[in-house]
Structure 1
Amino acid sequence: MKLDEQDAILTQNMDFLKHMFRKAVFPCMLTILSANINVFVDGILVANCIGADALAAVNLSLPLYLALCVIGSFIASGTAINAAREIGGDNREESSRYYNDCVVGTFFASVIITVIGLMCRDILVSFLCSDASIRPYVREYVVIMLIGALPKIMIYVPLWYLRLDGKNVAVTVMMSVMSVGNILLDVLFVSVWDMGVFGAGLASVLATTAAFVIGFIRLFANDCSFVFSPVIHKNIEQWKLSAVAGTPSALNNLFSTIRLLMINSMLMHDGGGAAVAVFTAVNGIAGFGECITLGIPQAASAMLGVYSGERDNESCTILVKLEWIIGCIYSGIFFLLCMAGADIIQGMYGLSVPLRFSLFWMAAAVFPGLLCSILSGYYNIAKKNLWANGIIFLRVIAMTYIGLLFVIRFRLPMCSFLLFAELMTLVIWLFATGLFHKRHPQDTRYLLMDLSLEKSGNVLNFSVSSAAEDICSASERITDFCAANGMDKKRTMRIQLALEEIMTLITQVNKEMDKGLLQFDLRAYSLQGVAGIRIRYAGLAFNPFQRIKKENPLLVQGNSDFALQDEEDELYMGISMIQKMVEEIHYQRTFGVNTLQVIMREG
Structure 2
Amino acid sequence: MKNTDHAKQLGEEKTYKLLFKFSMPAIVGMLVNALYNVVDRIFIGNGVGSLGIAGITVSFPFMIILMAFGMLVGIGSTSLISIKLGEGKRAEAEAVLGNGMVLLIGISLCLSALGLLFLDPVMHLLGASASVLPYAKEYMSIILWGAVFQAVGFGMNNFIRAEGNPRIAMLTMLIGAVLNTILDPLFIFVFGWGIRGAALATILSQAVSAAWVLQYFLGGRSLLKIRRKNLQLKVATVGKILAIGSAPFAMQLAASVVTTILNNSLSIYGGDLAISAMGIVNSIAMLILMPIFGINQGAQPIIGYNYGAQKFDRVKHTVILAMAVATCIVCMGFILVMLIPQQLIAFFNREDQELIRLGAHALQVFLILLPIIGFQIVGANYFQAVGKPKHAMFLSLSRQVIVLIPAVLVLPRFFQFDGILMAGPVSDLVSSILTGIFVYKELNSLDKKQRQRYELQMQAE
The TM tier, using the shorter chain, reads 0.7 to 0.9
Change (3 A) 1:430 1:347: closer
Instruction: String of CA shifts for 1:61-104, please: whole Å, max 9, x gaps.
Output: 111211111111222223334555666x6555466655455334
Match in the other structure for 1:497: none
Partner of 1:286: 285
Q: Does the 8 Å CA contact 2:80/2:96 hold for their aligned counterparts?
A: yes
Matches within 5 A, 1:26-41: 26-41=24-39
Deviations 1:344-402 (A, max 9, x none): 12323332416556434555544443344334444445553322322232111221134
Distance 2:284 2:432 in 1: 23
* 1:238-293 deviation line (CA, Å, top 9, x unaligned): 65554454333223322222222222222333344444343222112112123124
Alignment correspondent of 1:251: 250
* Residues 77, 159 of structure 2: 8 Å contact kept: no
Structure of higher RCO (CA pairs closer than 8 Å, 6+ residues apart): 2
Is the partner of 2:357 in helix, strand or coil?
coil
The alpha carbon displacement at 1:32 in A equals 2.9
How many angstroms apart in 2 are the aligned matches of 1:417 and 1:311?
Answer: 38
Q: Does 2:330 correspond to 1:326?
A: no
1:215-245 Cα distance to aligned partner (Å, 9 max, x none): 4444556454444455599464x65554454
Q: 2:20 corresponds to which residue? A: 22
Give the corresponding residue for 2:4: none
Alignment partners' CA distance in 1, 2:223 and 2:69: 25
3-state SS, counterpart of residue 294 of structure 1: helix
Match 1:112 to one of 103, 110, 113: 110
Q: Is contact 1:170–1:215 with CA below 8 Å preserved after alignment?
A: no
One-letter code of the match for 1:409?
F
Partner of 2:378: 374
Q: Which has the higher helix share?
A: 2
**Structure 2 residue 73 is matched with structure 1 residue 67:** no
Tell me which moved more, 326-335 or 147-156. 326-335
CA–CA separation in structure 2 for the residues paired with 1:81 and 1:320:
24
Q: d(CA) in 2 for partners of 1:451 and 1:86?
A: 33
Question: Aligned residue for 1:409?
Answer: 414
Q: State the partner residue of 2:394.
A: 390
- Per the TM alignment, residue 296 of structure 1 is displaced from its structure 2 partner at its CA by 2.5
Could you tell me which residue of structure 1 aligns to residue 200 of structure 2? Answer: 202
- Give the Cα–Cα distance (whole angstroms) in 2 for the partners of residues 371 and 85 of structure 1: 31
> How far did 1:200 drift?
0.9
2-structure distance, mates of 1:432, 1:325:
17
User: What is residue 427 of structure 2 aligned with on the other side?
Assistant: 421
1:311 aligns with 2:312: no
CA drift of 1:195 comes to 0.9
- CA-CA distance at 1:130 after TM superposition: 5.1
CA shift in 2, pair 1:101/1:68, >3 Å: same
Count of residue correspondences: 439
Shift of 1:121: 3.7
The whole-number CA distance in structure 2 between the counterparts of 1:324 and 1:148 is: 39
Q: Per-residue deviation at 1:115? A: 3.4
Provide the C-alpha distance between the structure 2 equivalents of 1:335 and 1:95, rounded to a whole number of angstroms. 45
Please tell me whether the aligned partners of residues 129 and 138 of structure 1 are also in contact (alpha carbons under 8 angstroms): no
Q: 1:151 to 1:394 in 2, by over 3 A?
A: same
**1:449-598 superposed matches below 5 A:** 455=453
Where in structure 1 are there 5+ consecutive unaligned residues?
A: 1-10, 438-443, 461-479, 486-603
Determine the C-alpha separation between the residues in 1 that align with 2:445 and 2:361: 34
Q: Is 1:58 matched with 2:56?
A: yes
Distance 1:331 1:40 in 2: 18
Aligned-pair distance for 1:295?
2.7
Contact 2:139–2:196 (CA under 8 A) maintained in structure 1:
yes
TM-score w.r.t. length of structure 2: 0.78
**Residue 170 of structure 2 corresponds to which residue in structure 1?**
172
Is 1:144–2:142 an aligned residue pair? yes
Contact 2:403 2:427 in 1 (8 A): yes
How far apart are residue 180 of structure 1 and its match? 2.0
How much identity, in percent, do the aligned residues show?
18
Deviation at 1:202, TM superposition (A): 0.7
Instruction: Measure the CA separation in 2 of the matches of 1:201 and 1:447.
Output: 51
Change over 3 Å in CA distance of 1:399–1:172 after alignment to 2: same
Cα deviation code 1:432-457 (max 9, x no counterpart) = 678xx7xxxxxx558999979x9599
CA contact 2:376–2:435 (8 Å) conserved in 1: no
Where do 1:175-254 residues align within 5 Å? 175-218=173-216, 222=220, 224-229=222-227, 231=230, 234=234, 236=236, 242-254=241-253
* Aligned 8 A contact 1:251 1:392 in 2: no
Q: Mark the structure with the bigger radius of gyration.
A: 1
Which residue does the alignment assign to 1:600?
Answer: none
Out of 244-253 and 214-223, give the one that drifted further: 214-223
Give the deviation of 1:37 after TM superposition: 2.4
Moved more, 274-283 or 157-166: 157-166
> Does the CA-based 8 Å contact 2:265-2:420 persist in structure 1?
no
> What are the Cα deviations for residues 131-190 of structure 1, in whole angstroms up to 9, with x where unaligned?
344433222211211111112122233543434444333233322222221121110111
